[in-house]
Amino acid sequence: MPCEAVVVAARRTPIATRSRGLASARLEDLAAPVIRAALTDAATAVGRAVRPVDVVLGNCMGPGGNPARVSALAAGLGVEVPGATVDRQCGSGLAAVLDACAAVRAGDGGARVAGGAESASTAPVRSVDGVPYSRAPFVPVGWPDPDMLQAADDLARARGIGRERQEAHALRSHRRARAAREAGRLAGEIVPVAGLDADDVNGRVEAVLPRLAPLILGGTVTAGTATRISDGAAAVVVVPREDADGAPGLLLRGQAIVGCDPRLPGIGAAPAVIAALGNAGADLSRIAAFEIVEAFAAQSLAVLERIGLADDDPRVCADGGALALGHPWGASGAVSVVRLFSRLVRGGAPAGTLGVAAASVGGGMGVAVVLEVVR
């Protein structure tokens, strides 16, 4: 019989727009503090020191050299703690959490730190034959490989999601994030880094949204309905349930990683959520909280529509999503788990409450997880 995997601690850095508040922090400078903070929280939760047997982190853009191992050493975990880095693009952080849970469920013993980190500000410039490029291809030659902006605009057109609806969704995300920040609901999950102790939230969106020009000629996506490229990191501690000693946490109930048409990669979270719910034996009505990475308003709306949720469902990104907070690619999926931990575990939800975290992935994929509160 497989072990059960429980997330007993979850922390993240503030999220800052590229070249702003965290611009001077290297990737390990972001990851190490949240690893240490999550392990401290885990020790408090279970009543004893928690010594991880591995660190698994998602990362998309480098610097290479196995950032998870570098971050583990920077966190002071000792040379005997290894590390593995996962690249599933925008789903990397969530995929890393699932990999850690899988190892625990397989009976591989011991606690694991999992999450993601991205320093877009310090990511290396890549080139082929001296020609710089921003990302590697997501598909082989001959396949459609739109950049994410074009893909979001194409998805908006395919699903009939107009600019006004996108702006309403982006504004809702910003208002929720501002309200959560003012109420102090984000503070308990954030580890200050490089002098920054709160997210870099744009306070002027409401005023400028209608005035922004489309980013693609003839399109509907604007800078206000697209997330910002960001720096940030997140980490959780996963332990076998029998080692949790009754500590409150999030139990893995179901998961799914799926593929979809690479021409419209933004829809990938929808079939992943549907499959994860099926694997968990749950339906939408049972889910108390959704955290779905908002790369673009059009993409987020298309996912909600496909799942069967209303644009303004209060369960979805209740404290604001990536449209407001930012999108540190390799960390964002792990940030979603941290957000669920805050909303459900720190928020006092009763045992048995379910939450969903999900992300769409460049190249045409989706990843999702169903988590259950245990106490």
Domain residue ranges of the chain, discontinuous segments joined by + = 5-125+226-374
90 among known catalytic residues: yes
- For residues 121 and 72, give the distance between their C-alpha atoms in angstroms, rounded to a whole number: 21
Cβ-Cβ contacts under 8 Å for 350 (sequence gap 6 or more):
373, 375
CATH 3.40.47.10 fits 5-125+226-374, yes or no: yes
CB 295 within 8 A of CB 230: no
Residue 201: predicted pLDDT: 76
How far apart are alpha carbons 362 and 333 in whole angstroms? 13
Please tell me the predicted confidence (pLDDT) of residue 156: 98
Residues of the chain with pLDDT below 70 are 1, 202-203
Q: Exposed, middle or buried: residue 104 (CB in 10 Å: 0-12, 13-18, 19+)? A: buried
pLDDT at 361: 97
Instruction: Supply the angle between the helices 297-307 and 163-183 in degrees, to the nearest 10.
Output: 90
CA distance 117 to 111: 19
| Active site (annotated) includes residue 174 | no
- Long-range pairs, 282-285, Cβ under 8 A, ≥24: 282/253, 282/254, 282/354, 282/370, 284/308, 284/309
Catalytic residue among 3, 60, 90, 101: 90
Q: Could you tell me the two tokens for 154?
A: 């194409």
What integer pLDDT is reported at residue 35 of this predicted model? 98
pLDDT value of residue 204: 73
Q: Which of 332, 314, 309, 310 is nearest to 322 (CA)?
A: 332
> Quick one: pLDDT at residue 187?
94
Q: How far apart are CA 102 and CA 96, in angstroms?
A: 10
Over the chain, what HEC string results?
CCCCEEEEEEEECCCEECCCCCCCCCHHHHHHHHHHHHHHHHHHHHCCCCCEEEEEEECCCCCCCCHHHHHHHHCCCCCCCCEEEECCHHHHHHHHHHHHHHHHHCCCCCEEEEEEEEECCCCCCEEECCEEECCCCCCCCCCCCCCHHHHHHHHHHHHCCCHHHHHHHHHHHHHHHHHHHHHCCCHHHECCECCECCCCCCCCHHHHHHHCCCCCCCCCCCHHHECCEEEEEEEEEEEEHHHCCCCCEEEEEEEEEEECCCCCHHHCHHHHHHHHHHHHCCCHHHEEEEEECCCEHHHHHHHHHHHCCCCCCCCECCCCCHHHHCECHHHHHHHHHHHHHHHHHHCCCCCCCEEEEEEEECCCEEEEEEEEEEC
Active-site residue among 3, 60, 174, 327?
327
pTM score, whole prediction: 0.97
**Looking at residue 40, what is its pLDDT?**
98
Give the contacts of 13 (CB within 8 A, at least 6 positions apart): 22, 30, 33, 34, 190, 191, 193, 196, 231, 232, 233, 234
Say what the pLDDT of residue 1 is: 60
What pLDDT is recorded for position 207?
A: 82
